[in-house]
Amino acid sequence: MALDRQDAAAGSPQQRFETLLNTHRGIVFKVASIYCRDVEEQRDLAQEIRAQAWRAYPRYDASRSFSTWMYRIALNVAISFRRSVEYRRRHVSPIDSQALESIPDPRHDADDRLRELYTVIDQLDDMNRALVLLYLEGRNYQEIADVLGISETNVSTKLSRLKQRLRDQVASVRPGAVSLETNDGTR
């Protein structure tokens, strides 16, 4: 937060925005990679997030956390992007087979952990995807509640349910492989 204020204090509005965005550049791409699978779509979504953030920047209150502000924009844009006509058009139009082959599919990733991560994410709806992303990013329940617009109790309940669902999934495939974990509302 102190860094945000420092960053937001110097230079022209565009320079200040660029500096803040650079400090928090990971947010844009993590959100894009969670909501879109192919590289081209991720790039388009990342561009759209940056453009919308710049559009909203004159209203940014420098006394508040830039990361919370940025997460709200990135998640809102990503959910809208997935639901947009443009997105549907791509999925109903014939796709060039050569272009298709050039797109790396993360579900075929050599790394088991990444494959599991994408498998879990693929099963979530847009809102729960946002919740899991913020959790994986290490945000506390208060920050998650602030970004999503739900209560901390709700965040806690939802994460507990998600954890239970994951355990059930694993238990159904690998009986005995379940490790229980406490959920005290902290990371």
Partner 1 sequence: MELDDLKVAWTQLEQRVEQAESIVRRDYEERKLGESRRALLGMTWGQAVQMVAWIIVVAIVAPFWIEHWRVPHLLAAGLALHLFGVATICTSVMQILLIGRAFYTAPVVTIQRRLAELYRFRVVTSLALGLAWWVLWIAATMVGAKLWFGIDLYAESPQWIQWSLGAGVLGMAASVALARRLADRQTSSPLLRNVIDDLAGCSLLRARRRLDEIAQFERG
The interface with partner 1 within residues 94-123 (CB under 8 A) comprises 94, 111, 113-114, 116-117, 120
Instruction: Name the nearest CA neighbour of 155 among 146, 164, 168.
Output: 146
Chain centre to alpha carbon of residue 154: 19
Cβ 17 to partner 1 shortest distance, Å:
8
Cβ 101 to partner 1 shortest distance, Å:
19
- Binding window for partner 1 (CB under 8 A); candidates: 1-9, 39-47, 95-103: 39-47
Of residues 124-153, those binding partner 1 (CB under 8 A):
125-128, 130, 132, 135-138, 146-151, 153
Among 8, 35, 41, 60, binds partner 1 (CB under 8 A): 60
Taking CB under 8 A as the rule, does residue 16 contact partner 1? no
CA distance linking residue 26 with residue 23, whole number of Å: 8
Burial string for 133-170 (b: 16+ CB within 10 Å, else e) reads bbbebebebebbbbbbeeeeeebbebbeebeeeeeeee
